[in-house]
Amino acid sequence: NAGVTQTPKFRILKIGQSMTLQCTQDMNHNYMYWYRQDPGMGLKLIYYSVGAGITDKGEVPNGYNVSRSTTEDFPLRLELAAPSQTSVYFCASSFSYEQYFGPGTRLTVT
């Protein structure tokens, strides 16, 4: 199993640009999550999904959108990127109590 994979690993965006962060898991987990981590801080939940077709907001959803058309994929869309979205983004999935995290995407908005 590859576990949770994320692409790209790094990205630099200009203010106002858009992009999609990809997340795929091959463990057939129902639950998937997107977190962001600012320097020196803990992770904050952006969006989560309990299954294909079902998503819900987390703690910091503004400026982001998600979709979940399949069990495996949970892309995160940034529209009109802002410097405040400079962060490391982690995707995770779970079946029950244990969340499995991907390696992260480091995003810089300048």
Partner 1 sequence: DAKTTQPNSMESNEEEPVHLPCNHSTISGTDYIHWYRQLPSQGPEYVIHGLTSNVNNRMASLAIAEDRKSSTLILHRATLRDAAVYYCILRPIIQGAQKLVFGQGTRLTINP
Contact positions toward partner 1, by CB under 8 A? 4, 31, 33, 35, 40-45, 48-50, 56, 58-59, 90, 92, 94, 97-104
84 vs 71: CA distance, rounded Å: 30
Which residue, 16 or 53, is less far from partner 1 as judged by CB? 53
Which residue, 48 or 64, is less far from partner 1 as judged by CB? 48
What are 44's two structure tokens?
A: 């904050």
Query: Is 33:99 a contact under the CB 8 Å cutoff?
Result: yes
Which residue, 1 or 98, is less far from partner 1 as judged by CB? 98
Instruction: Please report how close the Cβ of residue 69 comes to partner 1 at its closest, in angstroms.
Output: 18
42 vs 35: CA distance, rounded Å: 10
Instruction: Please report how close the Cβ of residue 79 comes to partner 1 at its closest, in angstroms.
Output: 23
Q: Which residues contact 12 (CB under 8 A, 6 or more apart)?
A: 107, 108, 109, 110
Instruction: Please report how close the Cβ of residue 15 comes to partner 1 at its closest, in angstroms.
Output: 26
